[in-house]
Amino acid sequence: MPEQERLRRLLRQVQEGRLDLLRDQLHPGDIPEANSWRWGRLGDTLLHHAARSGHLDVLEYLVQELGMDVEVVNGDYKRPIHEAASMGHRECVAFLLERGASVDCLKKSDWTPLMMACTRKDLEVIKTLVEHGANPLLKNKDGWNCFHIASREGHPQVLQYLLEVSPGSWDTESTTKRTPLHTAAMHGCSQVVELLLERCQYKPDSRDKCGVTPFMDAIQNGHVSIARLLLEKHQACPTAMDALGAQPLHRAAVTAQDGAIQFLVTELGVGVNGRATSQELTALHYAAKEGHTHTIQTLLSLGANIHAKDGKGRSALHAACAGQQVAATRILLRAGLRDAPDATGTLARQLARKPDVIQLFQETHVST
């Protein structure tokens, strides 16, 4: 058969774990060439595919009988052990380690097999790697160690194990100064947040490079139960400001988290008309700029001042028109906000570019 068709069949047999057919198709003359056969954009070898699919018998055959190199890399510098670890194939991981695979080898972006394993809940794979000397404290190019990765994935059992074998692994920050607590709060991993608050010593309201706290992360992603945890068990500040002077309320308006806005204003007493210090924007300005119509209505129902101006004398209507937000402009006009000039004399309609926005002013009898 043509060589290309033969290679496609070999790949399919490896992926399906058909060792019997694979033996029939391969012959001694293939041994020197086996490491050079590549598939796909990244140039994966048969060994990569066997490890990814978790077929131990095929993996053993390729290494022990064909002599394939366990440290062969693809275009991302990923080795077969990365594949096996990332897919949770413990027996394949153990075999590759026994055959001399480097336990802390790095793929592109400096990810180790242990980091790849921590994206899954398979604790046995993680234990196998650690027992063979994997270092839990190594960081990838973004500054994340495996504890940080497991916090993102929401695996409390993995985190408990990592704390046992490497008690200091929690004390880490990414290159942007984000802690595992930030990450768990952002992704809504409530069990992980509880564990981190009980077992680790993160400072209340620790800030990343943008000044964002874990409480802000929870609020802007709508994880109100986690925000409560941070208030009750970590003394989080509900009005802390980020590097631009925005409070959690403002960040919730940007991401249209109406439930979080209700929580902040009605339960915690946060002022609905509070301003972000950098440009004196209110939450209504932020919601209008993003075009979040329901959030605009929520803020108005909570007492937001529709006539509030920012540091340039612009109202929420200016923000909606500048963002070409048709529906938001309609709501604000119907709520009684008019085309008043800002501090520079610019009218909201002058910021509009969409014909639909301009038409709204005509429909509501705003002077043009």
Last residue of a domain, one of 104, 122, 143: 104
State the pLDDT at residue 237: 97
The Cα 200–Cα 257 span in angstroms is 29
Stretch 7-34: mean pLDDT, rounded? 81
Q: Is residue 140 part of a domain?
A: no
Kindly list the distances between the CA atom of residue 136 and the CA atoms of 185, 189, 196, 313, in Å, as whole numbers in the listed order: 22, 21, 17, 53
Flag whether pLDDT at 265 surpasses 90: yes
pLDDT of residue 340: 83
pLDDT, tens digit, for every residue of 174-189?
Answer: 999 999 999 999 999 9
- Domains identified in the chain, total number: 2
Last residue of a domain, one of 83, 104, 125: 104
Domain end (from 86, 104, 122): 104
Residue 366 lies in a domain: yes
Residue 197 covered by a domain: no
Q: Is residue 120 in a domain?
A: no
Q: pLDDT tens digits, residue range 211-251?
A: 999 999 999 999 999 999 999 999 999 999 999 999 999 99
Angle formed at CA 82 by CA 79 and CA 85, multiple of 5 degrees: 150
Residue 334 lies in a domain: yes
Residue 301 lies in a domain: yes
Tell whether 162 is covered by a domain. Answer: no
Q: Is residue 366's pLDDT more than 70?
A: no
Q: Which residue has the tokens 């060792």?
A: 19
Return the sign of the alpha-carbon dihedral for residues 245, 247, 251, 256. negative
Domain assignment present for residue 79? The answer is yes
**Closest C-alpha among 111, 99, 16, 27 to residue 63:** 99
Mean pLDDT over 89-115 rounds to 97
Among 8-17, 114-123, 183-192, where is mean pLDDT lowest?
8-17
Alpha carbons 190 and 133: distance in angstroms, whole number: 31
Structural domain containing residue 273:
242-368
pTM comes to 0.91
